[in-house]
Structure 1
Amino acid sequence: MVKELRQQFNKSFTQQKYEAFFNDLNTAHSSLQFRPAETPVFVPKHFHKQMISACESIIDVILKPDFKELTENSIPKDLRVKNEDDYPGCLTFDFGVCINDHNKLEPQLIEMQAFPTLFAYEVLLDDTFYKHFEAPSNYSSYLGALSKDSYLKLLKDLILKNHAPENVILLEIFPDKQKTNIDFYCTQDYLGIKPVCVTELIKKGKELYYFNGGKETLIKRIYNRVIFDELLQQEEWVQEKAKVLFEDIDVEWMPHPNWFYRISKYTLPLIKHPNIPETNFLNKIEKIPSDLENYVLKPLFSFAGQGVVIDVTNEDIEKIEDRENWILQRKVQYASVIETLDEPAKAEIRIFYFWPDKADRPIPTNNLVRLSKGKMIGVRYNKDKSWTGGTFGLFER
């Protein structure tokens, strides 16, 4: 995205550098289960400002007094968790790198969630990158004026709050089997909290416990990584074990599970911004657009993009009975503008926001990027392709 820096990086790149980088990255826990891309994305100031402007417009909506009322129906009745807090501790915003009608690059929002992502792994990735590659000193993966140390302090305050690490857990479904488990181990390295499976929770009265080094230990705060849509796909005995999460338990959440639904595809129809594609609830559309080829059909409740219809037809819409649970979104065209050593790649940039305790607004902190040469972003669209996978953006300061 910054032509001179891209040319410099590509010219100095060697496969030997990448292999050394990959081996070093994987050595940390020998658990890297996704492909790290060969390059970061260099993000200029004007592009960064457009993304932040869109994020802030969404936050403005979240801060409105009636936001919870407007999003009450977003939470499935059988997945509502008690003791919801006033705001989510974290937010993530995904932007596609696109080309507009004036032939200029611009970000377009793809999705947003009040849910964690690779908050800790990106620190390891940044450290490892600079051991093997170079980048200009006025570019950083950390946003605002943050550095590694100040970012980790924010992350620690966010997840631990004022609790001892042994009383805080990272909660997942079989964490060792998750493709993103390297982030769990990095979180443990940086913060001292353990990844715990939902099947390992012990309830006594209103309190939860887990075994920590063979000792039954009280849980005061949960760093929640459980996606309930994924939970519903588990065997019955796993879902039975997880029912404790829906009871009246004496724990703090980061973030509270209800926010996963409140800030999601469900929120998009509430927001108008030039970098946010037009989105409408399917049941609120009076006339179906004649140019359906320019739209994508998405279920509000799905796991890992399942159910998304890219090439929409009238027949696809007609067979949907629960239209209140679907959105029709203006399609964005990813631009293949990241020059590589063969064909160019598309990019999707995820911005991290943290909401410090008692702060009026959340703040941008870090990012990740996914590169793709397939029809969509994702591993299954990039088999046997190089210069694809997970990476990060270096933002001009």
Structure 2
Amino acid sequence: MGAREMAVAARESSRRLQALSSEERKKILLAVANALETNEKLITEENEADVAAAEKAGYEKSLISRLVLKPGKISNLAKSIRMLANMEDPIGHVLKRTQIAEGLILEKTSSPLGVLLIVFESRPEALVQIALLAIRSGNGLLLKGGKEAKQSNAILLKVITEAIPESVGSKLIGLVTSRDEIPDLLKLDDVIDLVIPRGSNKLVSQIKNSTKIPVLGHADGICHVYVDKSADMNMAKRIVLDAKVDYPAACNAMETLLVHKDLVQTGGLNDLVVDLRLEGVTLYGGPRASAELNIPETHSFHHEYNSTACTVEIVNDVQAAIDHIHEHGSAHTDCIITEDHEVAEVFLRQVDSAAVFHNASTRFCDGARFGLGAEVGISTSRIHARGPVGVEGLLTTRWILRGSGQVVDGDKGVTYVHKDIPIDS
């Protein structure tokens, strides 16, 4: 089946999915969760084969880390799916109701986008999260995974599609296996409604430059933690270490540590540096930190390490930290650690990132941790969906107008009142 045929088939299946009741769509999600747990051993075996092949091929450690389905991952995915199933049905939700005129009622409702194309690298769990979010939001889906996860993706798709009832059809989700098909898919702006790339900066940039289809995603995850002069240093150490070493390959891991200049004199900077080094983190400095700590100077502040390395720089105050983030960041997730709530509010109001935190690790920027059930990705695009994107980010709106024979007739016969009607009425 060619690219266009796959996209058209996904749209047709999505319309059948939307025609089901909320309870029937919920049952599909629960069936998938059960199927994943039932087939965990088989999924793990296929994933281990992918990991062994990637190691033999000499792939980077960060890619292999993202490829591995760690113990407990399948049960966590199943748990997320059940959480998603039990959330309020997002389709056809009335967002606003207005009486336009006598006997003329207008509703703004939530509606599926249509067909999504997801191009992703390494992470096989991304296939599961995206597929289930697509089902929950009533969208058709085309997936293109990396060749390094070929066996993992194939078995996961098989398990998921076998749980989809024939009345909807397994073509709701299509797996594109050849890289050569991507250029053709990116030309299908008449049958694909949104592209979501998940992977390297290079992948995201290539896709953004190759399509007229709207693209949702982020090219970089250059996350900052700023430690203010009034920070509780025990708290700061916990947050900085978690943000960097909990999962260094994640897009929400800290890549740059900014420290208030007063912490040089108090020893706070040194304490943070010692703790990072004890965890095996390689440090690079901006001009000030490089001279102060005698560490190599970074070649660029706009750099995502995706490993146990980070940049450190000293700044004069919160405004300097904000300016640094705006100049060198990627608008993903940025954090301030401070006990001064006025300073915290300045940071939270002025940092123009998709997620901005006070006294909490950047690692919390995640769909499951935010209670979205799962995420299709993290968006730094300044569009309708920003930050972790769950079901709501895969919806658009439709206008439903209910009348009783009215016509415009040059607006002579209509008296407009434009009166808001409570949604629960």
TM-score (norm 2): 0.28
Larger of the two Rg values belongs to structure? 2
Higher relative contact order, structure no. (Cα contacts within 8 Å, ≥ 6 residues apart): 1
* Structure 1 or 2: more helix by fraction: 2
TM-score (norm 1): 0.30
